[in-house]
Structure 1
Amino acid sequence: MIEIKQLTKLYKTKHQQVQAVDDISLNINKGEIFGVVGYSGAGKSTFIRLINRLEEPTSGTIKINDKDITTMAQSKLRKERQKFGMIFQHFNLLWSRTIYDNIAFPLEIAGVPKNKRKEKVLELINLVGLSGREKAYPSQLSGGQKQRVGIARALANDPDVLLCDEATSALDPETTDDILDLLVSINKKLGLTIILITHEMHVIQKICHRVAVMEKGKVVETGNVLEVFVKPQSKTTKRFVQQLNPLEQQQEAIQSFINSRDDSEVIKLHFIGNSTRRALISEISKKYDVDINILQGSISPTQEGAYGTLFFEINGQKDVIHDAIKYIQASGVEVEVLKHVE
C-alpha cells in the first residue's frame, strides 16, 4: 500500500546541514500496524511528516496505492491528504470548541452537509468511547479523553492511513494502554493502516505487527515484531529490547547463581508463539535422568504471539545432558548454552 524508496530529508542552515532522514526504503502493507521506534533525534517525527508531505522531501519517492505523492501538485495533494488522519503527542485540539465541534471541524472544511456531519460526529464519538461528553470542552477532559477526541477527529474524513506521532508519550501507563487498545480496535473494525512513531518499545510490543528501528536518520533494522524482539540485530534494537526484558541485561548477574559442579550446563531458551505454552522443562525431567534448577524466566505478549526467555541449570551425566539439549532443539525452541560441561 505504501512504498517508500530512498527517502531523504536534509535541513540546511547558514553554518551546517542536518540529515534528518537518510535514504529510507520501506514497504507498509494495507491494514497493518507498523511501528517506527527510535531515541530522541533519530528522525522519526520528520519521517512521519514526510509521508503526507507536511515536510517536503529532499529526495526519494513515496507511493500510496501506486500514486506518487512526492511529485503531486499542491491542488491535488490537498485532496490526497484527506486520506491521511494524524494524531499528535499534545493533542492539538481547538480549546474554544466542544468535543463535538472539534471532531466536526475537518468535516466542515471538507464541505460535508450539516446533517451528514452530525451523523458522522456522533458515530465517531461512540467509536472512541466518549458518548455523553459531546458538549464538554478540552479543558474539562483527562489526557486520555483528549487523545480520544484527537483520534476521532483524525478519522472524520474516513482516511486510509492513520499517522500517530508519539500519540501516547504524554499519557500515564494505564491511559497509554487504553489508547493502544482503542487503536487496535479501530485497526480491526475499519481495516485502517496505522503508522505509529514512538520511543517506547512497550508500545511496539503491545500493538504493532512490524517495526522499523531508526538511528541518526537511518533505518537500522526492520521486521516482524516477534522476530525483532527475539533476535535483535543492531545495538540500538538490543537496547530497546533490554528495556522490556531485564533478563537480557542480567545475563552476567545470573552467573552468581550457578554452582561450580563440573557435571552441569547453563541453558538459555527462547520460546516463541505456541511453544510458550509447552511444559518443556517437565518433559525433560521425566524423559532424562537430570536435575534442573530454574534460574530466571519471563513471558511477554505481542500482536503476533508471545515470546519468552528462560535460564536454567541442568545437572547430570555429560551424554545425557547433550541428549536433553538435542531434544529441546528438536522441539523448535531456540537454545543457547552459556556454560558447558567440562
Structure 2
Amino acid sequence: MIKIENLSKLYQTNKQQVQAVNNVSLNIEKGEIFGVIGYSGAGKSTFIRLINRLEEPTNGTVSIQELDITNMSQAQLRKKRQKIGMIFQHFNLLWSRTVFDNIAFPLEIAGVPKAKRSEKVTELIHLVGLSGKENSYPAQLSGGQKQRVGIARALANDPEVLLCDEATSALDPETTDDILELLVSINQKLGLTIILITHEMHVIQKICNRVAVMESGEVVETGDVLDVFVRPKSATTKRFVQQLNPLEHEQDKLQNFITNHDNSEVIKLHFIGNDAKRALITEIVRKFDVEINILQGSIAPTREGAYGTLYIELNGEKDILSKTIQFIETSGVEVEVLRHA
C-alpha cells in the first residue's frame, strides 16, 4: 500500500543543518493502523508531512498504491492529495463555518455538485456521531466534537489513507478513548489505512497493528505492537513501555515483598495472547509441592491480544523448583529468573 524508501529531510538554517528525518524506510500494509511514536524532536511530525509532501523530502521516495508521490508535478499532487486525508492536533477548523460547511469545504474545492455534496456531508456527520450539530460553529463544540469534525472533513473525498498528526494530544483521556474508538470503527467500516503519529504509548497500545519507534530522525525499532511491547529492544522503546508498565523499572522494590526463604526462586513471567487469561498459578499449585508468593503484576490489552507481567517467588525443594520452572517454560509462558535459590 505505502512504500517509503530512504526518506530524509534536512533543514538548512543560517547557522546549522538539522537532520529532521534520516533515511527512513517502511512498508505499510493496506487497511492497517500503523503507529509512529517518538518523543518531542524525534522527527515524527516532519515524517508524516513528508508522506503527502506538505514538506518536501531532501532524499528518498514515498509510493502510495505504486504511485511515486515524490516525483509528481504540483497538479498531479493536488489531485492525489484528495485521496490522502489528514487530521491535526489543533483541529484546523474554519471558525466562521458551521460543522456542515467545514465538512463540505474539501468537496467544494474538488468541484462536487451541491446535491451530492449535501448527501455526502450528511452521511459523514452520522458516521462520526455529530447528528444534531450540523449548524453549530466550532466555538460551540467540545474538543472531542471539533476533532470529529476534523475526521469527517478528512474523509470527505473518500481517501485511501488517513494521516493523524497527534490527533488526540489536545484531548482529555476519556475523549481520547472515544476518538480512538471512532478511528478503529472507521478503519473497519471503510478498510482505510491509517498512519498515526503520537508520543503516547497507550494510543499505540489501544488501536495500532504495528508501530515504528523514532529517535533523532531515525526509526530505531519497528514491529507488531504486541511483540514490541513484550520484547522492546531499543532504549527509547523500553522507556515508552515503562510508561504503561512501571513494574519494569521497579524491580528493586520487590525485595520488600520477598520472604527470603532458604530454598526460593524469584521469577518474572510474561503472558502473551490467550496465555494472559490462563490460570497458571492454580495449575502449578495443583501439580507441584511449592508455595507461591505473588509479588506484583499487571495485564494490558492491545489490538492483537493481551499481554501481562507477573513477578512471583517460589518456595520449595531445589529439584521441585527446577521442575516447576521447566513446566512453566514448556507451557508457552516466557520465564526470566531474577534470583536463584
TM-score where L is the length of structure 1:
0.99
Task: Tell me, in whole angstroms, the C-alpha distance in 1 between the residues paired with 2:29 and 2:255.
Answer: 43
Q: Secondary structure at the match of 2:214?
A: strand
Superposed CA deviations along residues 183-227 of structure 1, whole A, max 9, x for unmatched, are 000000000000000000010000000000000000000000000
Listed one character per residue, the Cα deviations across residues 152-190 of structure 1 (whole Å, up to 9, x for unaligned) are 000000000000000000000000000000000000000
Match of 2:316 in 1: 316
Per-residue deviation at 1:38?
0.3
Q: Does 1:280 align with 2:288?
A: no
State the one-letter code of the partner of 2:205. Q
Counterpart for residue 165 of structure 2: 165
Looking at structure 2, the residues matched to 49 and 196 of structure 1 have their Cα atoms a distance apart, in angstroms, of 12
State the match for 1:261 in structure 2.
Answer: 261
Q: Distance in 1 between matches of 2:234 and 2:274?
A: 27
Which amino acid is the alignment partner of residue 255 of structure 2? Answer: Q
The structural deviation recorded for 1:244 is: 0.5
Question: Following TM superposition, by how much is the alpha carbon of 1:89 offset from its aligned partner in structure 2, in angstroms?
Answer: 0.3
Q: Which residues in structure 2 correspond to 1:180-219 (within 5 Å)? A: 180-219=180-219
Q: Distance in 1 between matches of 2:340 and 2:29?
A: 44
Q: Distance in 1 between matches of 2:337 and 2:262?
A: 15
Show the counterpart of 1:233.
233
Distance 2:114 2:260 in 1: 78
Q: What amino acid is aligned across from residue 282 of structure 2 in structure 1? A: S
Query: SS at 1:63's partner residue?
Result: strand
* C-alpha separation in 2, matches of 1:252 and 1:84: 48
Q: Secondary structure at the match of 1:30?
A: coil
1:52 pairs with 2:52: yes
4+ residue stretches of structure 1 with deviation over 6 A?
none
Please tell me the residue identity of whatever aligns with 1:62. V
Measured after TM superposition, the shift of residue 249 of structure 1 is 1.6
* SS of aligned partner of 1:80: helix
3-state SS of paired residue (1:170): coil
Q: Deviations over 1:54-87 (max 9, x none)?
A: 1000000111111111111111111111110000
* Distance in 2, Cα, partners of 1:318 & 1:6: 54
Amino acid at match of 1:322: S
TM-score normalised by length of structure 2: 0.99
CA distance in 1, matches of 2:293, 2:260: 13
**1:53 Cα offset (Å):** 0.5
1-structure distance, mates of 2:63, 2:88: 23
Alignment RMSD (CA, Å): 0.5
Aligned partner of 1:85 in structure 2 is 85
Matches within 5 A, 1:139-154: 139-154=139-154
Map of 2:62 onto structure 1: 62
Paired position in structure 2 for 1:135: 135
Deviation at 1:40, TM superposition (A): 0.3
Measured in 2, the distance between the counterparts of 1:126 and 1:209 equals 26
1:299 Cα deviation from its structure 2 partner: 0.6
User: 1:251, CA displacement in angstroms?
Assistant: 1.1
3-state SS of paired residue (1:15): coil
Secondary structure at 1:6 match in 2: strand
Question: In structure 2, how many angstroms separate the alpha carbons of the residues matched to 1:155 and 1:255?
Answer: 53
Listed one character per residue, the Cα deviations across residues 114-172 of structure 1 (whole Å, up to 9, x for unaligned) are 00000000000000000011000000000000000000000000000000000000000
Aligned mates of 1:240, 1:81 — CA distance in 2? 32
C-alpha distance in structure 2 between counterparts of 1:283 and 1:141, whole Å: 53
**1:256: Cα distance to partner?**
2.3
Whole-angstrom CA distance in 2 between matches of 1:163 and 1:32 = 12
Unaligned stretches of 5+ residues in structure 1? none
One-letter amino acid matched to 1:151: I
Question: Within 2, Cα distance between the matches of 1:208 and 1:64?
Answer: 20
Paired position in structure 1 for 2:101: 101
The separation in 2 between residues aligned to 1:172 and 1:14, in whole angstroms, is: 39
Paired with 2:285 and 2:330, the residues of 1 have a C-alpha distance of 16
For 2:314 and 2:71, locate their aligned partners in 1 and report how far apart those are by CA, in whole Å: 62
1:304 pairs with 2:313: no
Q: Secondary structure at the match of 2:94?
A: coil
| SS of aligned partner of 1:292 | strand
Q: CA deviation at 1:262?
A: 2.2
Identity of aligned residues (%): 77
For 1:324-339, what aligned pairs fall within 5 Å after superposition? Answer: 324-339=324-339
What is the letter of the counterpart of residue 90 of structure 1? H
Could you say what secondary structure the match of 1:214 adopts?
strand
C-alpha distance in structure 2 between counterparts of 1:262 and 1:51, whole Å:
60
| SS in structure 1 of the partner of residue 82 of structure 2 | helix
- The 2-side partners of 1:161 and 1:70 are apart by 16
Q: Distance in 2 between matches of 1:331 and 1:48?
A: 42
Unaligned runs of 5+ in 2: none
